[in-house]
């Protein structure tokens, strides 16, 4: 049998900002666990030998377990483990807090899970399947959704994972610290080829990454494709940019708190954009009428991500530049959209979303 030497490692590669601290916590917990396991094992074996039954010995008198000493013992073995485990709790919680708050300037990459593949879209337009190219030592934030069932984007070398849910956006971030290739696994059971829904993260130097990006597909950036989608769907007829249209202006709206007609507030984020496109009546902005039709079933999950990226890129009301466009190249909003065929993004209206997913059910 040909087994590589790396078969015997006990830890996965350590290739992100989280790996060191997670391993540290793990070692702390393993040591505590080993101590208590050995303590219990020692006591039981020691007692079993020392107090083994000897023929003719009288029945031992019961121990008074209501004595002060017994109480102290009971309290000690309740409180000491509790104290030690609260350290584990606090340590683990602080890691999770870091993991749940992606840095603001992180490189944003979109991930769509689908049985049984990972579709990755870079803002600059490059797309890949089951591969993710990222630059080393740069914060990377994944915004993820699923086209069908629940998946989970897991990179053991980064010590992080997050579920990828249909109809919702989840995020996961990391800062790769070591150049190399690392496994991507789907960690949430998703059916037949669950174990085939795997891929590779390629962590590259910034230089190689730039080269890789520029050698990309030649398609437009996500925001540019989103803009073209925006126009094809006629969104701009109501969402006029100067704010005097029948619908609110979207410029500079991303990240703001929006006042709603019912007096409540909502943050203008990915989830709100998605909900407003699919279910426009759900949350109406104060001062506007319920006139927007639903686009449910008309836009693919990937098309939705492009629209979101376009709306995010609309920037602040004073500037005209896209926040993120191609590398170092400010793009004009009026620029003609990319030459990408729109059919793949806009679904035929007659196709129900379910129909594409159905696979001869037995029940």
Q: What residues numbered 79-118 form the site for another protein, per CB under 8 A? A: 81-82, 85-86, 88-89, 91-97, 99-100, 115
Q: Strand locations in 261-321, DSSP E?
A: 265-267
Two structure tokens written together for 62:
């019961």
* Residues in CB range of 194: below 8 A, 6 or more apart: 116, 186
Identity of the residue, 47 or 267, whose beta carbon is nearer to another protein in the bound complex = 47
- Length reported for the chain: 363
x/- site string to another protein, residues 13 to 42, per CB under 8 A?
-----x--xx--xx--xx-xx--xx--xx-
Residue 152 has phi, psi (to 5 degrees) of -150, 125
| Binding status of residue 44 toward another protein by CB under 8 A | yes
Question: Taking the complex as a whole, how short is the minimal distance between the CB of residue 146 and another protein, in angstroms?
Answer: 9
| Binding status of residue 159 toward another protein by CB under 8 A | yes
| Binding status of residue 271 toward another protein by CB under 8 A | no
The CA angle 162-202-182, to the nearest 5 degrees, is: 60
Single out the segment in contact with another protein by CB under 8 A; choices: 124-132, 146-154, 224-232, 341-349: 146-154
> Burial letters for 250-262: b for 16+ Cβ neighbours within 10 Å, e otherwise?
bbebbeeebeeee
Single out the segment in contact with another protein by CB under 8 A; choices: 77-85, 130-138, 261-269, 341-349: 77-85
Identity of the residue, 341 or 362, whose beta carbon is nearer to another protein in the bound complex = 362
Burial class (CB in 10 A: 0-12, 13-18, 19+), 315: middle
The CA angle 274-278-279, to the nearest 5 degrees, is: 105
| Binding status of residue 47 toward another protein by CB under 8 A | yes
Residue from 67, 69, 72, 77 that binds another protein (CB under 8 A)?
77
Question: Taking the complex as a whole, how short is the minimal distance between the CB of residue 237 and another protein, in angstroms?
Answer: 28
């Amino acid at each position: 049998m040909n087994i590589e030497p790396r078969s015997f490692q006990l830890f996965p590669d350590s290739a992100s900002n989280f790996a060191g601290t997670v391993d540290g916590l793990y070692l702390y917990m393993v040591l505590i666990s080993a101590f208590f396991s050995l303590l219990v094992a020692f006591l039981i074996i020691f007692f079993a030998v020392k107090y083994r039954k000897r023929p003719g010995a009288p029945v031992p008198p019961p121990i008074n377990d209501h004595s002060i000493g017994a109480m102290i013992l009971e309290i000690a073995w309740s409180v000491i483990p509790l104290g030690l485990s609260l350290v584990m709790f606090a340590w683990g919680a602080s890691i999770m807090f870091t993991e749940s708050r992606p840095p603001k300037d992180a490189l944003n990459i979109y991930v769509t899970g689908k049985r049984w593949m990972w579709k990755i879209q870079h803002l600059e337009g490059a797309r890949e399947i089951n591969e993710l190219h990222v630059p080393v030592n740069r914060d990377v934030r994944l915004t993820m959704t699923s086209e069908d069932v629940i998946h989970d984007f897991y990179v053991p070398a980064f010590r992080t994972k997050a579920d990828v849910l249909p109809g919702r956006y989840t995020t996961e971030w990391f800062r790769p610290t070591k150049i190399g290739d690392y496994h991507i696994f789907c960690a949430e059971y998703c059916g037949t080829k669950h174990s085939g829904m795997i891929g590779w993260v390629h962590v590259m130097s910034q230089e190689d990454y730039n080269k890789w990006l520029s050698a990309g597909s030649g398609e437009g950036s996500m925001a540019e494709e989103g803009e073209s989608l925006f126009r094809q769907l006629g969104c701009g007829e109501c969402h006029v940019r100067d704010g005097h249209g029948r619908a609110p202006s979207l410029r500079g709206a991303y990240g703001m708190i929006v006042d709603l007609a019912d007096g409540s507030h909502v943050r203008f984020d990915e989830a709100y954009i998605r909900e407003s496109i699919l279910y426009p009546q759900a949350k109406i902005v104060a001062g506007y009428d319920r006139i927007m039709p639903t686009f449910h079933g008309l836009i693919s999950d990937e098309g939705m991500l492009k629209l979101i990226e376009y709306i995010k890129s609309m920037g602040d009301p004073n500037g005209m530049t896209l926040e993120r466009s191609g590398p170092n190249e400010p793009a004009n909003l009026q620029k003609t959209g990319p030459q990408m065929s729109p059919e793949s993004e806009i679904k035929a209206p007659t196709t129900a979303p379910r129909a594409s997913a159905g696979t001869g059910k037995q029940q």
